[in-house]
């Protein structure tokens, strides 16, 4: 009986050692979040974030979310805007990371990539340093009694360099 117990204990111990060793080998061979991005020649790319006339109701925002991938380099958001058709004929443009967006909506002070200030027209060229989800916002702070909506012509592109084939 004692030998059966000793044999059983040694088999269980051997099985545990195999499981631990197997887990270690799998974890060592799996890619991790710190794996550097692929390298190679960079290709310049761009896409329109918005290229149209929009209407931004009083006390609302027109949100255009966009994503910057981990392999993107030299990322910038560039464009222009022009308000028309009604007073006060002004809009505010923001670019911010998704991480701060909920706090910004609550009126809290947050770090943002771009704030145009209240303007009727403007151009911008903003560098984005980190990958992630971002928001391009056209914000109308006017009271509805003053201006029910601001009409805006917006032309904005996302531009970046990426490794060929990514």
pLDDT > 90 fraction of the chain, expressed in percent and rounded? 61
- Listed residue (143, 155, 153) closest to 87, CA to CA: 143
Residue 29 has pLDDT above 80, yes or no: no
Q: What is the mean pLDDT of residues 141-146?
A: 70
| Cα-only R_g, the chain | 27
Which residues, 6 or more positions from 91, have their beta carbon under 8 angstroms from its beta carbon?
A: 56, 81, 83, 116, 118, 119, 120, 138, 139, 140, 150, 152
Given this model, what pLDDT does residue 67 score? 98
Q: What is the mean pLDDT of residues 32-61?
A: 82
Q: Look up tokens 């991480």; give the residue.
A: 99
In this structure, what token pair is assigned to residue 66?
């966009």
Q: Is the preceding peptide bond at 88 cis, omega within 30 degrees of 0?
A: yes
- The continuous run of DSSP H or E covering 7 comes out as helix 2-29
Q: What is the pLDDT of residues 74-90, one digit of tens each?
A: 999 999 999 987 778 88
Domain boundaries, the chain: 1-30, 42-163
In this structure, what token pair is assigned to residue 34?
């710190």
Q: What is the mean pLDDT of residues 50-75?
A: 95
Does this model's pTM top 0.85? no
Residue 54 has pLDDT above 60, yes or no: yes
Is 154 in a helix, a strand, or coil?
Answer: strand
Q: What is the pLDDT of residues 98-115, one digit of tens each?
A: 999 999 999 999 999 999
DSSP assignment, residue 1?
-
- Give the CB-side neighbour count of residue 28, counting CA atoms within 13 A: 6
Residue 17 has pLDDT above 80, yes or no: no
- Give the residue ranges of DSSP H helices in 30-154: 101-105
Q: What is the mean pLDDT of residues 126-140?
A: 97
Given this model, what pLDDT does residue 155 score? 98
Q: What is the mean pLDDT of residues 39-63?
A: 93
Partners of 81 in the β-ladder = 122, 154
Q: What is the pLDDT of residues 144-154, one digit of tens each?
A: 667 678 999 99
The dihedral formed by the CA atoms of 110, 114, 120 and 122, expressed in degrees to the nearest 10: 170
Least confident of 1-5, 57-61, 69-73: 1-5
CATH 3.40.50.1000 fits 42-163, yes or no: no
């Amino acid at each position: 009986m004692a030998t059966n117990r000793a044999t059983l204990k040694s088999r269980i111990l051997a099985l545990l050692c195999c499981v631990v060793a197997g887990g270690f080998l799998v974890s060592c061979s799996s890619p991790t979040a710190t794996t550097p991005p692929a390298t190679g020649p960079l290709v310049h790319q761009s896409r329109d974030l918005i290229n149209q006339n929009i209407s931004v109701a009083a006390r609302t925002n027109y949100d255009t979310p966009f994503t910057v991938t981990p392999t993107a380099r030299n990322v910038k958001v560039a464009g222009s805007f022009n308000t028309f058709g009604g007073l006060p004929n002004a809009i505010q443009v923001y670019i911010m990371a998704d991480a701060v967006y909920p706090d910004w909506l609550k009126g809290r002070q947050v770090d943002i990539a771009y704030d145009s200030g209240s303007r009727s027209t403007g151009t911008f060229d903003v560098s984005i340093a980190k990958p992630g989800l971002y928001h391009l916002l056209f914000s109308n702070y006017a009271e509805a009694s003053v201006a029910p909506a601001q009409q805006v012509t917006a032309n904005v592109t996302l531009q970046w360099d990426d490794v060929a084939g990514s």
